[in-house]
């Protein structure tokens, strides 16, 4: 049975309620722009693979972007519409994390992965591609798993592992939150990150997020 990963109870009228899902249903989500560099199509392919072994699991894509219509067509063409949901943009992404069991990032490239940072700060374990600055944030085997980019089977395998092991999810989720507070001092910056994440999930926001990231991203260690 699935258990809440984030601190506190799930929202009464949150994502699960809007999708008509019961509380015990497994739900993995991708949060961010539906654009090529985020590779949401790889997430959908992983979901298709998992239909064979986890037929009751559900998958949500939260955000807007140029790939939205193509993703919807691919989902319908593969007969996945009942279990893979395109949520679209939301005004506040933070409650979404409390409805998820697992946060997934399938990006081909990343700079400062705000969605991962906010999700981990909310107590979510993650499965993410090993690109850009992601390995600096996600501790492989500690706060989640790192997988090869563009590899839907690798992604599906780790998602399967996480969704079928609630104790592992709970432990990694707790470690994820502790890591964010300890290393990234999100106790001071969660509100600012939340504001930027709300922009990420809206149409036409890529330029705003890119500008914000360039200004606020911490300097890399040499």
pLDDT in tens, the chain (222 residues): 334 344 456 777 899 999 999 888 999 999 999 999 999 999 999 999 999 999 999 999 999 999 999 999 999 999 999 999 999 999 889 899 999 999 999 999 988 788 999 999 999 999 999 999 999 999 999 999 999 999 999 999 999 999 999 999 999 999 999 999 887 655 455 555 555 555 555 555 444 444 443 433 344 343
CA 12 to chain centre: 21
Asked if 110 and 42 count as a contact pair (C-beta separation under 8 A), the reply is: no
Instruction: State residue 9's pLDDT score.
Output: 67
Indicate the pTM of the whole model.
0.81
Cα–Cα distance, 167 to 5 (Å, whole number): 10
What does the DSSP assignment read for 12-78?
A: TTSHHHHHT--TTS-EEEEES--SGGG-HHHHHHHHHHHTTT-TT-EEEEE---TTHHHHHHHHHHT
| Residue with the two structure tokens 């072994």 | 53
Name the 3-class secondary structure at 146.
strand
Cα–Cα distance, 15 to 5 (Å, whole number): 14
- The encoded tokens of residue 185 equal 């001092």
Encode pLDDT of 198-207 as tens digits. 555 555 544 4
Q: Judging by beta carbons within 10 Å of its beta carbon (0-12, 13-18, 19+), is residue 29 exposed, middle or buried? A: buried
Encode pLDDT of 129-179 as tens digits. 999 999 999 999 999 999 999 999 999 999 999 999 999 999 999 999 999
Nearby residues of 12 by Cβ (< 8 Å), 6 or more positions away: none
* Residue 139 dihedral angles phi and psi, to the nearest 5°: -90, 110
């Amino acid at each position: 049975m699935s258990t809440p990963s984030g601190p506190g109870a799930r929202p009464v009228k949150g994502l699960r309620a809007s999708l008509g899902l019961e509380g015990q249903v497994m739900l993995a989500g991708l949060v961010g722009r539906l654009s090529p560099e985020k590779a949401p199509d790889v997430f959908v392919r992983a979901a298709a693979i998992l239909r064979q072994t986890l037929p009751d699991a559900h998958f949500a894509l939260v955000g807007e972007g140029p790939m939205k219509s193509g993703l919807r067509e691919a989902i319908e063409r593969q007969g996945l519409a009942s279990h893979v949901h395109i949520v679209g943009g939301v005004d506040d992404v933070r409650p979404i994390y409390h409805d998820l069991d697992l946060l997934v990032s399938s990006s081909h490239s990343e700079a400062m992965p705000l969605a991962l940072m906010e999700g981990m700060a909310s107590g979510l374990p993650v499965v993410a591609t090993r690109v850009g600055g992601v390995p600096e944030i996600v501790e492989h085997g500690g706060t989640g798993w790192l997988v090869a980019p563009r590899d839907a089977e690798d992604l599906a395998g780790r998602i399967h592992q996480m969704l079928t092991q609630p104790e592992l999810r709970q432990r990694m989720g707790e470690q994820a939150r502790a890591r964010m507070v300890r290393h990234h001092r999100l106790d001071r910056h969660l509100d600012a990150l939340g504001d930027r994440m709300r922009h990420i999930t809206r149409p036409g926001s890529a330029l705003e997020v890119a500008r914000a990231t360039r200004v606020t991203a911490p300097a890399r260690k040499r």
